[in-house]
Structures are given as structure tokens and as C-alpha cells.
């Protein structure tokens, strides 16, 4: 992300991007959990251990190229702490709180069976299938179940092009002079591509918002969606039409590649650690058996599966910006051990190091799902996962994402035995590097062989009738709501 770019520019190119995170982690092991990088008058602090700092890290540093020129100041991820952030954040957290997120389970369930069919038909391209699944879910969560999701739809094509543009601007080795010389932003010819990107995003986001509006006026059944919620409750949150449109637009960017990386990381871990995969499948066989497919109602009974998922994302942490995570900015002086981090300092949490804190995760390099389980055989509640970030900026999409990850992973591990293809290369860090991993047509970190655990015809038949309403809805046969475990991940 831009605030770290001037510092990464100082590093040899070979260690940029993915390797920067481990390089920095080496410094953390050697010098302690607080690293300061200086470039001229600018400095950033990188933190390698987690400590709750309350709301003091809620701000973002100024990101002129990405936040102001491309985002027009309307993209929540780059919005500084203040009135606009509070209004946007309240809308997102209200709509995506655990109970409300449950409304999307039928949508997640009905789309996940396509993932199974696609893996059966074309296992080699599992990464593309996961990408389509994650993108479809987040698009429908944002705009309703009639939203276009086909790869050939012009809006989908434009969404992908714009994401590519912003991904390019966020590359660890991308550098925009305007982030050092702010007045450049007023020069008409400067950053033309970024400014045009903003205009294109505005057209796209407004077009999507208007389509939902029209469908609601003409009584089309679009199901629940974030945009519909905002159109029905917008006054309550006090957001302008532009803010609402861009908030919707942010969700695809925030929630598609991240979810893809997490699902693929878990599948890769299953193929790499067969003994642990077998333990998860023993639990699935005991709880579900092979005469019915798992659904959300099984969520609370699958301790081993949740532990496996948590360990996979600790082993190979996935963050929107792999180099270090999202930048934060201190809102006041922060005392960290014996050091004072002054107000206004840019801070990164180095996810790799935080996930390898030996005091929290003994033998941090070992893959041990058991570490997440206590002596009573339940999930430990004293061990945290930082997959979704920190403090006030924690991902508002976590409850939706947890469900998308859970239902896809449970179904795949129930349906298939996963093994690595020994003839193909394995890059087990590959899904952490979003800049490469999200070009699935050209880059595939691992090749997994999927062997059906039940006869294929039977599996296909079960998927045809896979429950979409009663069990998946979180409603039991008597019409009572089924409490959902938030413990996963």
C-alpha cells in the first residue's frame, strides 16, 4: 500500500512484494516487535506482535493516489477516521453483524453446489472455480440475487478491470510522486489514469445502485442485499447517494479476492497435511456421515474443522496487502512497552510475524490445528486469529466471509480427498501473494487432485437436491432459529 511504498523502494527488488513481509519479520525476530523504517523525513512503524490499542489506531494515513485520486475520498478502506468513516462504518457493521449476516446463508448454500459440480467437471481449475464462487457471493450480497455475475457481463468486466487498476496502484513496488508532493494532485495531466478510474468507478457504482432502486420499485424479488438495506434505511445512516454507491462498490474489492485466497489456502493446507485432513474427515463422517451433505446447521458440531481453518490461515496468513496488512495511523501518542509512537505515525501490523509469535503459538512454523482446541475438546476462546485485521478497522465483512469459507470448505472436504499433484510445482506461499494469486489463469500456486469420497453419481445426485431452504436457512424443522457458532476462524 502506498504509505509503505517509498520504504519498499529502498529494498532490493528481489525481496519486494511477498518476500518483504518475511524480510521484515526477520528484523522483528532480531530486533524486537517494533521496527521503524525511515525514508527522508518520512517514517513508518511496523508491529510484529499483537496488543490491543483500543481506538488509537483507527485512522488511516493519507493515501493521495489510491484514496483521493482513484477513490475520490469515497472508498471506506482509505477514508480517514472522522465523520464519513463513522457513518460508513456504522452502516456496514449494522448490516453485516452476525445475525444479519445469517440472512445470506441460503445464497451461500445455493451457489456452493456449483463449486462442487465445477470441481467434479474440471478439478484442475479449482482456483478459478473458487474465484467465481467468492465473486458471485459478494456481488449478490451487495446487489441482490439478480445482480449480473457472468464473466461476460459488461458490468462484471468493468468491475474486474477497475479492480486490476487499483491492484496495480496498490502494488508494493508501485510509487506515486503525489504521495510525496501532494499539490501534484491539482495538476490536470497528473495521474490521469487514476482520475479516469474514479470517474469509471462512479459510473459503475451509481449504475448498480440505480438498477437495485428500479428493481425495488418494480417489485422484482431481489432477496436481501446491502444496497437494498441502504436504500430502505439510508436516512438512518445519513449517507449521501455517492457515499452509498461507493460503499457498495468497495465490497466487491474487499470481499472477493480475500475470500478466494482464504478458501484456496485451506484447501492447499488440506492437501499438504494429509494426516490433519484425515482427522477433519473423521469428524465429518462421525457428525454428518455420507448419506447427507453438510450444511450450516452442522457448524457448531465441527470443532476439528474450525481448528483446521484457523490453523491454515495462521500458517499462511492472507491479508489484503500481503506485505504488511492495511496501514493504520495513530490518533494520539501510543506507549508501546518502553517506546512512544507519536500521534500521526503510520503503523502496519505484520500479519506473518503476529501469526508466528512463539509465546502465543508455540512451534509457530508447525501446522498444528490441535493448538486451537482445549483439554475439554472445545475451541479455545483465549486464542485469537487476526485474519480480519485489528480494532476499529476490523473487516466488517468477517461474519459473511466466515460463512462463505465455512460452507465451501466443509462441503469440499466432505466430498473429496485432496492430494497434491507431485508432478507439479508447489508454492505454498502463493496464495498469500494476492498480486500473483489473483491472476489464476496465469498463476497457480499448487495443483490439487480431488478424489470423490463417495461414488460420483451419488455425489452429483445429492448436490442436485442440496438443501437450500430449511437447514441452510438457520431455521430448524420446527421453525426455530438455529444458533450459529461465531467461533469459526
Q: Binding residues for ligand HEM, per CB under 6 A? A: 76-77, 89, 92, 96, 138, 250-251, 254-255, 258-259, 262, 318-320, 326, 387-390, 393-397, 400-401, 405
Contact 126, 418 (CB under 8 A): no
Quote the CA–CA distance of 182 and 187 in Å, as a whole number: 10
- For the CB of residue 387, give the shortest distance to ligand HEM in the complex, in Å: 5
Three-state secondary-structure class, residue 10: coil
Q: Are strands 334-336 and 339-341 parallel, antiparallel or unpaired?
A: antiparallel
Tell me the CA distances in angstroms from 408 to 187, 194, 235, 404, one per residue in order: 48, 36, 36, 6
Contact 251, 397 (CB under 8 A): yes
Three-state secondary-structure class, residue 241: helix
Which is nearer to ligand HEM, 76 or 293 (by Cβ)? 76
DSSP at 16 = S
Which is nearer to ligand HEM, 97 or 424 (by Cβ)? 97
Cα dihedral 147, 152, 154, 159, rounded to 10, equals: 70
Quote the CA–CA distance of 224 and 147 in Å, as a whole number: 12
**Cα 35-40-45 angle, rounded to 5 deg:** 20
Q: Which residue is nearest to ligand HEM (CB)?
A: 397
- For the CB of residue 389, give the shortest distance to ligand HEM in the complex, in Å: 2
Quote the CA–CA distance of 371 and 165 in Å, as a whole number: 40
Where does residue 155 rank: exposed (0-12), middle (13-18), buried (19+ CB within 10 A)? middle
Contact 349, 325 (CB under 8 A): yes
Contact 101, 399 (CB under 8 A): yes
Three-state secondary-structure class, residue 329: strand
Quote the CA–CA distance of 367 and 388 in Å, as a whole number: 20
- For the CB of residue 394, give the shortest distance to ligand HEM in the complex, in Å: 6
- For the CB of residue 28, give the shortest distance to ligand HEM in the complex, in Å: 18
DSSP at 448 = E
Please, what sign has the CA dihedral across residues 27, 30, 35, 36? negative
Which is nearer to ligand HEM, 326 or 462 (by Cβ)? 326
Beta strands per DSSP E along 42-123: 42-47
**Sequence-distant (≥ 6) Cβ neighbours of residue 306 within 8 angstroms:** 372, 379, 485, 487, 488, 489
Long-range contacts formed by 8-14: CB under 8 A, 24+ apart: 8/172, 8/173, 8/323, 9/39, 9/173, 9/175, 10/37, 10/39, 13/173
Residue among 75, 9, 81, 74 nearest 39 (CA): 9
Amino acid at each position: 500500500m502506498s504509505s509503505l511504498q517509498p520504504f519498499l523502494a529502498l529494498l532490493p527488488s528481489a525481496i519486494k512484494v511477498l518476500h518483504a513481509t518475511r524480510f521484515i519479520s526477520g528484523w522483528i525476530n532480531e530486533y524486537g516487535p517494533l521496527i521503524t523504517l525511515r525514508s527522508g523525513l518520512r517514517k513508518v512503524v511496523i508491529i510484529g506482535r499483537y496488543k490491543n490499542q483500543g481506538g488509537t489506531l483507527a485512522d488511516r494515513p493519507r493515501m493521495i493516489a489510491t484514496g483521493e485520486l482513484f477513490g475520490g475520498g469515497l472508498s471506506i478502506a482509505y477514508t480517514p477516521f472522522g465523520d464519513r468513516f463513522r457513518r460508513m462504518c456504522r452502516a456496514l457493521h449494522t448490516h453485516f453483524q452476525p445475525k444479519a449476516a445469517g440472512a445470506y446463508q441460503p445464497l451461500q448454500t445455493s451457489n456452493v453446489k456449483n463449486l462442487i459440480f465445477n470441481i467434479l467437471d474440471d478439478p484442475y481449475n479449482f482456483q478459478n472455480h473458487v474465484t467465481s464462487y467468492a465473486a458471485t457471493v459478494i456481488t449478490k450480497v451487495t446487489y441482490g440475487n439478480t445482480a449480473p455475475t457472468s464473466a461476460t457481463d459488461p458490468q462484471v468486466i468493468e468491475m474486474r478491470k477497475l479492480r486490476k487498476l487499483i491492484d496495480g496502484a496498490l502494488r508494493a513496488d508501485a510509487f506515486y510522486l503525489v504521495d510525496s508532493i501532494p499539490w501534484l494532485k491539482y495538476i490536470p495531466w497528473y495521474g490521469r489514469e487514476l482520475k479516469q478510474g474514479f470517474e469509471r468507478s462512479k459510473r459503475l457504482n451509481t449504475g448498480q445502485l440505480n438498477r437495485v432502486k428500479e428493481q425495488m420499485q418494480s417489485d422484482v424479488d431481489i432477496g436481501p442485499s446491502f444496497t437494498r438495506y441502504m436504500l430502505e434505511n439510508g436516512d438512518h445512516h445519513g449517507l449521501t447517494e455517492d457515499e452509498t454507491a461507493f460503499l457498495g462498490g468497495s465490497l466487491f474489492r474487499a470481499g472477493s479476492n480475500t475470500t478466494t485466497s482464504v478458501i484456496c489456502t485451506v484447501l492447499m493446507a488440506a492437501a499438504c497435511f494429509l494426516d490433519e485432513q484425515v482427522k477433519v474427515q473423521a469428524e465429518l463422517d462421525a457428525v454428518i456421515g455420507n448419506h447427507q451433505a453438510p450444511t450450516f446447521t452442522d457448524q457448531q458440531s465441527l470443532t476439528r474443522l474450525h481448528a483446521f481453518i484457523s490453523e491454515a490461515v495462521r500458517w499462511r496468513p492472507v491479508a489484503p496487502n500481503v506485505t504488511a496488512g492495511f496501514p493504520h495511523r495513530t490518533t494520539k501518542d501510543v506507549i508501546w512497552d518502553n517506546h512512544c509512537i507519536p500521534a500521526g505515525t503510520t503503523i502496519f501490523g505484520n500479519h506473518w510475524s503476529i501469526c508466528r509469535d512463539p509465546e502465543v503459538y508455540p512451534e509457530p512454523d508447525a501446522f498444528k490445528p490441535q493448538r486451537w482446541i482445549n483439554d475439554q475438546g472445545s475451541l479455545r476462546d483465549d486464542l485469537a486469529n487476526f485474519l480480519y485485521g485489528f480494532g476499529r478497522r476490523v473487516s466488517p465483512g468477517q461474519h459473511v466471509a466466515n460463512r462463505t469459507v465455512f460452507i465451501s470448505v466443509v462441503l469440499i472436504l466432505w466430498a473429496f480427498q485432496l492430494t497434491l499433484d507431485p508432478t507439479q510445482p508447489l508454492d505454498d506461499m502463493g496464495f498469500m501473494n494476492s498480486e500473483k494469486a489473483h491472476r489464476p489463469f496465469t498463476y497457480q500456486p499448487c495443483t490439487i487432485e480431488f478424489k470423490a469420497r463417495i461414488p460420483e453419481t451419488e455425489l452429483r445426485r445429492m448436490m442436485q437436491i442440496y438443501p437450500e431452504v430449511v437447514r441452510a436457512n438457520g431455521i430448524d424443522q420446527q421453525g426455530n432459529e438455529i444458533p450459529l457458532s461465531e467461533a469459526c476462524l
